[in-house]
Structures are given as C-alpha cells and as structure tokens.
Amino acid sequence: MVRPTQLLHPPRPLAAVRPAATVLLLRDSTDPQRPGIEVLMTRRSMTASFAPGAYVFPGGGIDAADTQAHTISTRRPTQGDLHLTQAIAAIRESFEELGVLLAHRADGSPVDDSDIALLDRTAPFAGQCRDRGLTLDGAGVFVFAHWITDRDLPRRFDVPFLVARMPTGQQPVADEAEQFEPCWVRPADALERHKDGDFFIIFPTIRTLERLQAYANVQAVLDACARNDGPLWTSCPRAGLVRGAEERYMEHELPFGELALVCPDGQMVHNLDWQHEQPVQLLKNVQRLTAHNPGFMTGPGTNSYVVGDPASGHIVIDPGPDEPAHIERLWRAAGGRIQAIVCTHSHPDHSPGAPRLQSLCVAAGLEKPPILGLPSAPTSRENSHFTPERVLADGEQLVLLGQAGDTTVSHTLEVVHTPGHAANHLCLALLEDGLLFTGDHILNGSTTVIDPPDGNMGAYLDSLDKLDALCERHGIEFLLPAHGHVLGDLRRTVDNPSAPPNGGARAAIAHLKAHRLAREAKVARAMQAAPEGSMDDWVKIAYDDVPDRLWPVAKRSLMAHVERIQSLGGFNL
C-alpha cells in the first residue's frame, strides 16, 4: 500500500453513496430492416440535481417500502433479498415516472393500460397494488450491471442497472415533472445521436448501451443475466484530464490504474496526455519520463522511472535509448543526484542511454552512479548486447535512505529475475509503496512479444507466477510498465467496491496469464488442424482475431508457444 506521506494529494472524504435502482425496459424491433433491441429512455428535467437534461433509463432511490413489498412480488429461487428489493424499486420508479407497470392480475394475466388508469402515480405504490390484487413481476427483472458513481462527484449512488422485457398492452407516459419525452431507441442509434450532440447521455449510460448493442434480441440479454443471476460487470469509474477535458474510465480501460495510484480519492487533477518534455509525478518519490520514441513496438514511448527524493538521492530505472535530449531531461528530473542506474533488460529502447546518463553525473562533478542489471545472454540479438558494471542478484535489495526532519525515509527496490521476454530481464519492487516496475514483462495495452531464442514462453509464464507470489508477499497493488500507463487498483474497500479482493496487480497478472494460455490453446488447435503446416499457416488460425498486418510480429510469439508445446510433449492441451 502506498505510504500516505508519498501521495501527491491529501486524502479527502468521499460523498456517501445512496442506494438506487434503474431499469432498462427492452423490446425487440418490429422493423425487419433493422432487427435488434430497442430500449426505453426518457429525458430528465433540466432542473434535476443529478444529470439534468440527460436521457436516462427510469429509476430512482430505494425506499423502505420497497423491502416491505416482497410479499406482493414474484421472485426467482436464486434472487436474493437485495436484488428483489432493487427490482421492486425499479418497478415502482418505472410506474411513477413513465406509467409502465411490471405486474399481473390475480388470475395471472398481465396488467395493461386499463389497470394503470385506476392507479394514482403519486400515491403510495405497494398499498395500491395490494388493494387491487396485483402481483409485481420481480422475477422477470434481472441485474445487468452494477454502477457506483464516480468518486469525484458530490452526489453519488450505488445503482444496479436492471433489465426487463417491456410488457405488452402498455404505453409509456412521462410524469412531466422528473421525466420527459419517453422514446424507444436502438442502443447504436442512441450512441450515434449522443456523438452528434443531440442526445445527451452520461458515462454509465454510454458504457451500458455499448454492451447492450452486442445482443441480438431481448431474450439473449435476459439469458445472459439469468446464468449467474448477478451483474455482468461492476464499475466505479475514475476521471482524469485529456487535452484539458474530463474523461472517465472503467476498470479495464488503460488509464484507470494510473488514476487510482495518483488520485485514489477521485481528485480531478491528473493529466493523462503523453508528454516527453517533462516528467510526470506519480508519487512524491516516483517520476515517469517517457522517451520520444513512440512506435508500433514501443507505444507512446519507453518509460524511464526516477525513484527517490532529494534527500535520499535517486535510482533511475530504464534510461531508455541513447537520445541526448531525453537523457538530459532524465538527469534534471533527478536533480543530478543519481545513486544508481538500473536496466530491466538489454533491448535497445531500454539500456543504451545508461552510459550517457552516467557521464552527465560525472561531468557535473557528482559521484559516478553504477550501471546495474543482468548481462545479455549469448542468445540476445546483436543490437541488444548489454554488460552492467555490477550484476544484480535475484532478491537483492537496493536501498535509498534520506531524512525528513527527525524521520529516516527509505525507498527499497527488491530485484526479481524474470526471464521470458528476454533472458536477462528483471523487475523491481518498491516495497514501502507496493509498486512493481515491470519493464517489458507486463505492458499496459498489449502483450509483450516473446521472441526466441532469447525469449522463452515457459520461462515467461513461470516468471508471471513468480511475480504473483511477490505481489502477494509484499502487498503490491500497482504495476508500472516500461510502455503505457500504470496498471492496477487499490484493494477492495467500502469506498472502492469494484476493486479485485487482492488488489489490481495480481488480477492483472492472472488476466495476462489466462490470455497467454488461451492463445497457446489456439496455437495447439492450429497445429492439430494443420500438422504439416508452417508458421505462416498456423498464425492465420491462432491469431485470427488479430489484424493480419500484425502477423509478422505475432509469429515471434507463435514460435515461442510452439517451442513450449513441443517441450511439453505435444499439443494435447
């Protein structure tokens, strides 16, 4: 866990979340030219305290009476009390706001507009239904998603996004107080109209519609929700600044982990634009400076990290390519006080800048920092030769010590040898703050290339297991890769309910390993389908979900998978 003393922004209390529920009333399109799902949406009042003027699904807060109405509702055997209460709240809100009632009469027939005309939308809901012998159709309401309002907002809600089939024989009529202009819209059309600026929808609605449009019909949605009888995803988004404007992200999106590290309480201050002219402060003791070498293999560029503070001095991780302007900026970011330079591996976008950075320190009359790492193996390519001045041992700790008043402040980097991407690859764990600098072993936004003979898939997977154990042992929550934003999230708490139970670092490692093994299974199937085939034949099958322009690079990792499959005695995976 990051030390509070190293956070850039002081902690702040978050607004309490209020329980609420919303429902997506769905119907199948009757237009043979445009088949698919339509969803009922309505425009919020322009004076509403939350999302004024936005098009939304009907819903609102959960009342105590919603729990008391369990006795007049159907329920599924797997539908717990909480989900039933949420379903009843959604049924009540859709009735009050749009005059749509998910219920049936005592004889089992569904209610229609004639029944609804006898009810008062402003009077207590459950009592009216009970008096008229109506039973709510709670069993037909399923949880599609679970959203918790972003941490930066002053009004926050804990909201299941429920789904139900729109009852026949009813027409929505807005209350003209909270909701206006009910309309049926296809998810793709709603998203397009929002993009064009004439159909304002907020972030959770956007992401929900994006996922809803993947289903062919209403029954497919209901079946997907019924399988686990719980949300298909849970999200509490985070927000940052991109080109000066607010942007929001779900947990699986690339910038999310960085926002969790830099702004754990949702402060809207972190700029996510990639920049090469100045370092980005991630913590008080961690800076990132990205080299100006963006490209197909490097993404936005190689991340160099500066760990430490003015009192302790600094360790530079991955000085990057030998690019004078980048090395000059890196030296200035450390204030010239560099105790050591560590290269995670020998590839040309990581280690060549080390001698130039070292010489800048010497030229300034400062102590010469040693260049540390592991020497390149005989299997390395010609442009990847690297010989450190001192070889680091697996498990060795590099310690920076400084003073803050009467307190000694330490920054301890533990070395872990992680062959796989390269034979001499290593990672570094900043123990006091639960961070892991992953070099190219784990990237954000892509999987690293395993290129034999220096790359080895078996070693790579074993190293992932080693890193997972390290994260568990030291409580590591964030991964800082050599390319891309920070990965991970804080551990699950009341204010962070969408985080993985063991922190996002281990979840990211588990996801990456599962992805690699799934790809290996596809490689094995390709080999089985074409036992006499070549790498060119197999890559078309095993990487059919990857653009063919990427196949030349994919063939490198394909070869690594083939080598591992053969080492395991065949392709019966």
pLDDT digits (tens, 9 = 90+) for 60-69: 999 999 999 9
pLDDT at 573: 43
Are 340 and 315 within 8 A, CB to CB?
yes
pLDDT at 495: 67
Co-location of 222 and 135 in the same domain: yes
Beta pairing partners, 281:
287
Q: Which contacts (CB < 8 Å, 24+ apart) does range 371-375 have?
A: 371/340, 371/341, 371/343, 372/340, 372/341, 372/342, 372/343, 372/398, 373/342, 373/343, 373/344, 373/345, 373/346, 373/424, 373/426, 374/345, 374/417, 374/424, 374/425, 374/426, 375/346, 375/424
Smallest CA-to-CA distance from 61 within 27, 31, 86, 26 is with 86
Residue located via tokens 């934003």: 485
Co-location of 312 and 260 in the same domain: no
CA 16 – CA 14 distance, rounded (Å):
6
> Which residues make Cβ contacts (< 8 Å) with residue 246, sequence separation at least 6?
239, 240, 268
CA 521 – CA 444 distance, rounded (Å):
23
pLDDT at 442: 97
Co-location of 368 and 497 in the same domain: yes
> Which residues make Cβ contacts (< 8 Å) with residue 370, sequence separation at least 6?
340, 341, 388, 389, 390
Which of 184, 209, 236 is the last residue in one of the domains? 236
CA 488 – CA 252 distance, rounded (Å):
9
Co-location of 329 and 423 in the same domain: yes
Co-location of 158 and 292 in the same domain: no
Give a yes or no: residue 3 inside a domain: no
CA 520 – CA 524 distance, rounded (Å):
6
Are 467 and 480 within 8 A, CB to CB?
no
pTM given for the model:
0.92
pLDDT beneath 50: ranges in the chain: 573
Give a yes or no: residue 494 inside a domain: yes
Alpha helices, DSSP H, located in 54-185: 64-68, 81-98, 113-116, 125-131
Smallest CA-to-CA distance from 507 within 481, 529, 476, 482 is with 476
The domain spanning residue 410 has which CATH number? 3.60.15.10
Co-location of 391 and 497 in the same domain: yes
Give a yes or no: residue 9 inside a domain: no
Co-location of 261 and 229 in the same domain: no
pLDDT at 415: 98
Tell me the residue range of the domain where 353 lies: 279-504
Give a yes or no: residue 8 inside a domain: no
The domain spanning residue 111 has which CATH number? 3.90.79.10
